[in-house]
């Protein structure tokens, strides 16, 4: 199950500074690997060997410089629902404000583990000033200075202890598919079409949040878990809330799953927010299937699926090698097919390619088109293997890994996709010194 740390607090207490500090060390790696632009409010972190996600919930709330009390409430409530651990940030130089009290009230009523973070403790004098935060009734404050980094280690030691305990939940060892997408694309209808008649053969498993229900599907030789995020719509009535909610819900579902079925509305096409969700899955290295739903509403010509597919792939670049399927949840057309494709992607994602086979296929390609020489230096790739990671990662061993360009790595990725079954699966390629 996902490990999520949410940062909450009123504006200007230092949430995004803390967010950057926690996610910084990994940011360079992630960017270099995937060429993906980083979300400013969502990122991965690691401490004492434990990986977790960090969300700056403040960043998703509109107009956060001049925030309304209602916005803060929303932010905090959602953090309570979605996160395992909450960092409640306060500014020691200002003490407790009315907005801080509002946040504290909601957090006290929630059942999540909260760490009171007394930020901007930049000097010795300020160390004694956080005492008043005890009165919030949320436990001992942790003194930190997000700017210098002091105190963050002690805080994280305690945070990962809580996460680690949460993480040991029992898990079902079957493929997990998350049905994600913006409100109204047809997620509920899709799930109903799939489960409709077979209601008697599905088991409801309590979800980790109130609205998301995980359903195990065992019929016609299939056995998988569906993670349903359809609850998004029911909670949000105002337009600008939608992105915030669907992003938060999607994050959790994406982290919990093996493959996402990203539903889009055929009449609208692939829009910016769909791409955000796609990139989230890519960053998390989850399998992806694009499901173009409401296909019954689109007027068909001979080439319409081909053209439609091509338009989508252009927007997904550079990760274009993703299955795209056209469904109608209303007429039930290809709904089961969509999950069968998700099963294939799942298999692609856990496969181990034999070292011998990998080298037999890839070494001739590399010899035929080696990396371009830089300053007279020739890179020689001698050996390739797959690393024992949870999503496909390949190491290319060579004499001068630092001379291999991003473009060449992209070339290798494309060749690998042609040669092996990697559709829908984000992969990583590392150059290593032999």
In the structure encoding, which two tokens stand for residue 115, read together? Answer: 């760490």
Least Å from the CB of residue 167 to ligand GDP: 27
Q: Does 188 bind ligand GDP (CB under 6 A)?
A: yes
- Convert residues 267-306 into a mask of x (bound to ligand GDP by CB under 6 A) and - (unbound): --------------------------xx-xx---------
Q: How far apart are CA 281 and CA 414, in angstroms?
A: 19
Q: How far apart are CA 324 and CA 96, in angstroms?
A: 52
Residue 384 — left, alpha, or beta (φ > 0 → left; ψ -120 to 50 → alpha)?
Answer: beta
Q: Which is nearer to ligand GDP, 34 or 130 (CB)?
A: 130
Residue 429 — left, alpha, or beta (φ > 0 → left; ψ -120 to 50 → alpha)?
Answer: beta
Cross-strand pairs, 202 = 217
Options 43, 141, 175, 183; binder of ligand GDP; rule CB under 6 A: 183
The footprint of ligand GDP on residues 202-231 (CB under 6 A) is: 230
Q: Which is nearer to ligand GDP, 145 or 250 (CB)?
A: 145
Q: Which is nearer to ligand GDP, 14 or 371 (CB)?
A: 14
The footprint of ligand GDP on residues 395-434 (CB under 6 A) is: none
Q: How far apart are CA 181 and CA 262, in angstroms?
A: 5
Options 83, 117, 146, 248; binder of ligand GDP; rule CB under 6 A: 146
**Other CB atoms within 10 Å distance of the CB of residue 318:** 12
Q: Which is nearer to ligand GDP, 118 or 208 (CB)?
A: 118
Least Å from the CB of residue 45 to ligand GDP: 16
Assign 397 to helix, strand or coil: strand
**Other CB atoms within 10 Å distance of the CB of residue 231:** 18
Q: Does 246 bind ligand GDP (CB under 6 A)?
A: no
In the structure encoding, which two tokens stand for residue 252, read together? Answer: 């959790």
Q: How far apart are CA 1 and CA 166, in angstroms?
A: 8
Q: How far apart are CA 107 and CA 99, in angstroms?
A: 13
Taken as a whole, the chain contains a residue count of: 434
The footprint of ligand GDP on residues 21-80 (CB under 6 A) is: 58
C-beta of residue 236 within 8 angstroms of C-beta of residue 187: no
Assign 188 to helix, strand or coil: helix
Least Å from the CB of residue 310 to ligand GDP: 22
Least Å from the CB of residue 277 to ligand GDP: 12
Q: With contacts defined by CB under 6 A, how many residues of the chain interact with ligand GDP?
A: 32
C-beta of residue 170 within 8 angstroms of C-beta of residue 208: no
Q: Does 185 bind ligand GDP (CB under 6 A)?
A: yes
Stretch that binds ligand GDP, among 114-122, 132-140, 357-365, 421-429 (CB under 6 A): 114-122
Q: Does 249 bind ligand GDP (CB under 6 A)?
A: no
Q: Which is nearer to ligand GDP, 16 or 23 (CB)?
A: 16
In the structure encoding, which two tokens stand for residue 148, read together? Answer: 């210098």
**Which residue shows structure tokens 């070494």?**
363
Least Å from the CB of residue 94 to ligand GDP: 10
Stretch that binds ligand GDP, among 42-50, 119-127, 304-312, 351-359 (CB under 6 A): 119-127
Q: How far apart are CA 327 and CA 325, in angstroms?
A: 6
Q: Is the dihedral of CA 400, 37, 14, 105 positive or negative?
A: negative
Options 23, 53, 143, 189; binder of ligand GDP; rule CB under 6 A: 189
Least Å from the CB of residue 251 to ligand GDP: 17
Shortest-Cβ-distance residue relative to ligand GDP: 186
C-beta of residue 33 within 8 angstroms of C-beta of residue 26: no
Contact set with ligand GDP (CB under 6 A) = 9, 11-17, 58, 119-120, 122, 145-147, 181, 183-189, 230, 233, 293-294, 296-297, 328-330
């Amino acid at each position: 199950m996902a490990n999520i740390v949410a940062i909450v607090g009123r504006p200007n207490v230092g949430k995004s500074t803390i967010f950057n500090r926690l996610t910084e060390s990994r940011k360079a790696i992630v960017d270099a690997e995937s060429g993906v632009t980083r979300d400013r409010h969502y990122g991965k972190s690691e401490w004492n060997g434990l990986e977790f996600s960090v969300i700056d919930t403040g960043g998703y709330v509109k107009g956060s410089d001049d925030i309304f009390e209602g916005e803060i409430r929303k932010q905090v409530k959602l953090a309570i629902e979605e996160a395992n651990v909450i960092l409640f940030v306060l500014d020691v130089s200002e003490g407790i404000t009315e907005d801080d009290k509002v946040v504290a009230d909601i957090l006290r009523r929630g059942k999540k583990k909260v760490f009171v973070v007394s930020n901007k403790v930049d000097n010795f004098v300020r160390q004694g000033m956080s005492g008043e935060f005890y009165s919030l009734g949320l436990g001992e404050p942790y003194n930190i200075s997000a700017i210098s980094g002091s105190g963050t280690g002690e805080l994280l030691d305690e945070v990962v202890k809580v996460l680690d305990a949460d993480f040991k939940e029992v898990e079902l060892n079957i493929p997990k598919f998350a049905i994600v997408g913006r409100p109204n694309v047809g997620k509920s209808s899709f799930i109903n079409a799939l489960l409709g008649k077979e209601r008697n053969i599905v088991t409801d498993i309590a979800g980790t949040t109130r609205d998301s229900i995980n359903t195990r599907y065992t019929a016609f030789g299939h056995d998988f878990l569906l993670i349903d995020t359809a609850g998004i719509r029911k909670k949000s009535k105002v337009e600008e809330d939608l992105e915030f909610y669907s992003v938060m819900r999607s994050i959790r579902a994406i982290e919990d799953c093996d493959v996402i079925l990203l539903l889009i509305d055929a009449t609208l096409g692939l829009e910016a927010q769909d791409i955000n969700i796609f990139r989230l899955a890519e960053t998390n290295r989850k399998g992806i299937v694009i499901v173009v739903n409401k296909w019954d509403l689109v007027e068909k010509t001979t080439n319409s699926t081909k053209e439609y597919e091509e338009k989508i792939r252009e927007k997904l670049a550079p990760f274009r090698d993703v299955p795209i399927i056209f469904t109608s949840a209303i007429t039930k057309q290809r709904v089961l097919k969509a999950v069968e494709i998700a099963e294939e992607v799942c298999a692609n994602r856990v496969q181990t390619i034999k070292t011998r086979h990998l080298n037999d296929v890839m070494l001739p390609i590399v010899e035929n088109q080696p990396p371009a020489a830089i300053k007279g230096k020739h890179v020689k790739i001698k050996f390739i293997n797959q690393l024992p990671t949870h999503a496909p990662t390949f190491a290319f061993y060579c004499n001068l890994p630092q001379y291999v360009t991003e473009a060449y790595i992209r070339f290798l990725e494309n060749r690998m996709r042609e040669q092996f079954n990697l559709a829908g699966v984000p992969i990583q390629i590392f150059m290593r010194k032999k």
